[in-house]
């Protein structure tokens, strides 16, 4: 099943619960605009490299469209489409005044030099600059992109439209980035878990964790879990995995990875095959890397009690059903990883106000937003008598449908 089909399946299950008809369903599921641009650059070797960039603008009923730009070899129109739609539902779950979009360039960022990455970014912005903007569509970092790339987007966009830092979020602090944005997705994962565990009178420190992926989201989640007293027993990245049943020293590991770029050569832990991380005997499994990692072929091997979706769509619909039948609680991506876009919103607000918030304020607002969304999510689950993913979709769909109806057909 493709990523778009999987997202549609989750959408449809919930849209029926909130009583949407076929016509409204079609309107909400169909992307507003799909952009595909050729990005040809000169490589450092003097030869030419041609890449394909995508931006899918899914829905803008609730405000300007919002979502990251991904640089990864697996980027294709299907995946970008699914991710754009997930952004519409994510921004609605946490009730931000945004719609949803997503972009990506099919490339392997690890094979590109700094200069090549910059030229590629500028070529991509040249292709899409007329269709993005602070009141239209606001990109942000995602897999394979970071603050440095956002700075080049600001600069390239300025050539066409004047200096306008609110055109992207996740920028360096010096260019109008927000304090707290870099850690925000990982912090949101922590806050989401706090809210979930509190329901059972438990805390983050009461559990053991395995985290797949040690990029921005996975490493920040690990760091904050460890700081809260949780025991992170295993982490992996695209090259390998490490474990220590007594708990990894995450602060030391983060320092090590900043230098060495890979978790697998970290000395104070045992190596094991990265694929096995998903099946470890831990309380909490946190997929924080690619989509579609838990499928009907391997969902039966999961031993964790909770799955916290720090990645976007890590669980296929078939796996979702199998895990649900086994009583494994899944905190869905459109809530669990919404901390990033929530602080992106705060960055954009600061840019519009030409004002800077202190980090405590940012983190405090994030805590409030995640708490309020959790209360709404639980209420949706109770009133519809459904699992948390369906409840999150139902909550989001009803908000987007309401805005769409109020705006009318023009
Ligand atoms: N790429 C992140 C996500 O998938 C953040 C998007 C944003 O901040 O706009 O949620």
pLDDT in tens, 182-209: 999 999 999 999 999 999 999 999 999 9
Number of the ligand 1 atom closest to the C-alpha atom of 169: 8
Any atom of ligand 1 within 6 Å of the Cβ of 137? no
Active site residues: 102
- Bridge partners of 62, per DSSP, are none
Q: What is the pLDDT of residues 325-356, one digit of tens each?
A: 999 999 999 999 999 999 999 999 999 999 99
Q: How far apart are CA 220 and CA 360, in angstroms?
A: 17
For 84, phi then psi, to 5°, come to: -65, -45
Number of the ligand 1 atom closest to the C-alpha atom of 68: 1
Give the residue, by CA position, lying nearest to ligand 1 atom 7.
341
Q: What are the boundaries of each domain within the chain?
A: 30-166, 184-336
Decide if 89 contacts 334 (C-beta within 8 A): yes
In the chain, the percentage of residues whose pLDDT exceeds 70 is 100
Q: How many angstroms does the Cα of residue 48 sit away from the middle of ligand 1?
A: 31
Mutate to test the pocket of ligand 1, among 72, 79, 185, 396 (most ligand atoms within 8 A of CB): 185
Q: Are strands 270-272 and 137-138 parallel, antiparallel or unpaired?
A: unpaired
Looking at residue 317, its pLDDT comes to 96
Architecture of domain 30-166: 3-Layer(aba) Sandwich (3.40)
> How confident is the model over 48-66, as a mean pLDDT?
98
CATH 3.30.930.10 fits domain 184-336: no
Q: What is the pLDDT of residues 221-268, one digit of tens each?
A: 999 999 999 999 999 999 999 999 999 999 999 999 999 989 999 999
- Pair of tokens at residue 266: 């970290």
Number of the ligand 1 atom closest to the C-alpha atom of 344: 8
Looking at residue 1, its pLDDT comes to 85
Q: What is the pLDDT of residues 1-53, one digit of tens each?
A: 899 999 999 999 999 999 999 999 999 999 999 999 999 999 999 999 999 99
- Pair of tokens at residue 80: 């970008």
- Cα 316 from chain centroid (whole Å): 16
For the entire predicted model, the pTM comes to 0.97
Q: How many angstroms does the Cα of residue 325 sit away from the middle of ligand 1?
A: 30
Residue found under tokens 């390998």: 240
Q: How many angstroms does the Cα of residue 83 sit away from the middle of ligand 1?
A: 10
Q: One fold for both 30-166 and 184-336?
A: yes
Number of the ligand 1 atom closest to the C-alpha atom of 139: 9
Q: How many angstroms does the Cα of residue 155 sit away from the middle of ligand 1?
A: 20
Give the residue, by CA position, lying nearest to ligand 1 atom 9.
67
Mutate to test the pocket of ligand 1, among 291, 340, 346, 362 (most ligand atoms within 8 A of CB): 340
Number of the ligand 1 atom closest to the C-alpha atom of 70: 1
- Cα 391 from chain centroid (whole Å): 19
> How confident is the model over 122-138, as a mean pLDDT?
98
Any atom of ligand 1 within 6 Å of the Cβ of 219? no
Any atom of ligand 1 within 6 Å of the Cβ of 88? no
- Cβ contacts of 14 within 8 Å, gap of 6 or more: 384, 386, 390, 391, 392, 393, 394, 396, 397
Q: How many angstroms does the Cα of residue 375 sit away from the middle of ligand 1?
A: 22
Looking at residue 361, its pLDDT comes to 98
| Average predicted confidence (pLDDT) for the chain | 97
Any atom of ligand 1 within 6 Å of the Cβ of 346? no
How large is the angle between the packed helices 114-128 and 147-161, nearest 10 degrees?
Answer: 40
Residue found under tokens 């055109």: 167
Decide if 165 contacts 171 (C-beta within 8 A): yes
Mutate to test the pocket of ligand 1, among 82, 137, 167, 341 (most ligand atoms within 8 A of CB): 341
Q: How many angstroms does the Cα of residue 57 sit away from the middle of ligand 1?
A: 14
For 272, phi then psi, to 5°, come to: -155, 165
Q: How many angstroms does the Cα of residue 142 sit away from the middle of ligand 1?
A: 6
> How confident is the model over 306-322, as a mean pLDDT?
97
Number of the ligand 1 atom closest to the C-alpha atom of 338: 10
Q: Residue 163: pLDDT band by 50, 70, 90 thresholds? A: very high
Q: CA-CA-CA-CA torsion for 108, 279, 222, 295, nearest 10 degrees?
A: 50
Looking at residue 409, its pLDDT comes to 81
Mutate to test the pocket of ligand 1, among 55, 67, 93, 290 (most ligand atoms within 8 A of CB): 67
Decide if 75 contacts 83 (C-beta within 8 A): no
């Amino acid at each position: 099943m493709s990523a778009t089909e999987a997202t549609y399946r989750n959408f449809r299950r919930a849209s029926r619960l909130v009583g949407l008809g076929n016509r409204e369903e079609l309107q909400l599921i169909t992307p507003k605009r799909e952009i595909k641009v050729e990005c040809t650059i000169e490589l450092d070797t003097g030869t030419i490299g041609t890449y394909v960039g995508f931006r899918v603008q899914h829905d803008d009923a609730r405000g300007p469209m919002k979502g990251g730009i991904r640089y990864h070899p697996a980027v294709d129109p299907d995946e970008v489409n699914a991710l754009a739609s997930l952004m519409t539902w994510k921004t609605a779950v946490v009730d931000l005044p945004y719609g949803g979009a997503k972009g990506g360039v099919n490339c392997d960022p690890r094979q590109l030099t700094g200069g090549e990455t910059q030229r590629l970014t500028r070529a991509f912005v040249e292709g899409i600059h007329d269709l993005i903007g602070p009141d239209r569509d606001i990109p942000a970092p995602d897999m394979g992109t970071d603050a440095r790339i956002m700075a080049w987007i600001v600069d390239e966009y300025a050539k066409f439209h004047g200096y306008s830092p609110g055109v992207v979020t996740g920028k360096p602090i010096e260019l109008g980035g927000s304090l707290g944005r870099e850690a925000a997705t990982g912090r949101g994962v922590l806050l989401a878990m706090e809210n979930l565990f509190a329901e059972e009178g438990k805390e983050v420190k009461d559990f053991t964790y395995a985290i797949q992926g040690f990029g921005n989201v996975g490493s920040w989640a690990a760091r904050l879990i460890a700081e809260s007293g949780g025991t992170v027993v295993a982490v992996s990245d695209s090259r390998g995995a490490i474990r220590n049943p007594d708990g990894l020293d995450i602060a030391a590991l983060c320092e090590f990875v900043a230098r060495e770029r890979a978790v697998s050569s970290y000395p104070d832990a045992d190596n094991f095959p990265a694929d096995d991380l998903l099946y470890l005997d831990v309380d909490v499994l946190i997929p924080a890397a690619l989509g579609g990692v838990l499928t009907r072929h391997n969902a039966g091997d999961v031993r964790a009690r909770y799955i916290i979706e720090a990645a976007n769509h890590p669980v296929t619909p078939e796996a979702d059903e199998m895990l649900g039948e086994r009583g494994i609680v899944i905190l869905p991506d459109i809530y669990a990883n919404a901390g990033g876009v929530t602080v992106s919103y705060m960055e954009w607000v600061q840019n519009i106000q030409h004002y800077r918030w202190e980090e405590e304020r940012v983190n405090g607002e994030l805590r409030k937003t995640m708490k309020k969304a959790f209360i709404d999510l639980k209420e949706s689950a109770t009133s519809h008598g459904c699992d948390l993913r369906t409840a999150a979709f139902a909550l989001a769909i009803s908000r987007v449908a309401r805005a769409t109806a109020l705006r009318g057909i023009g």
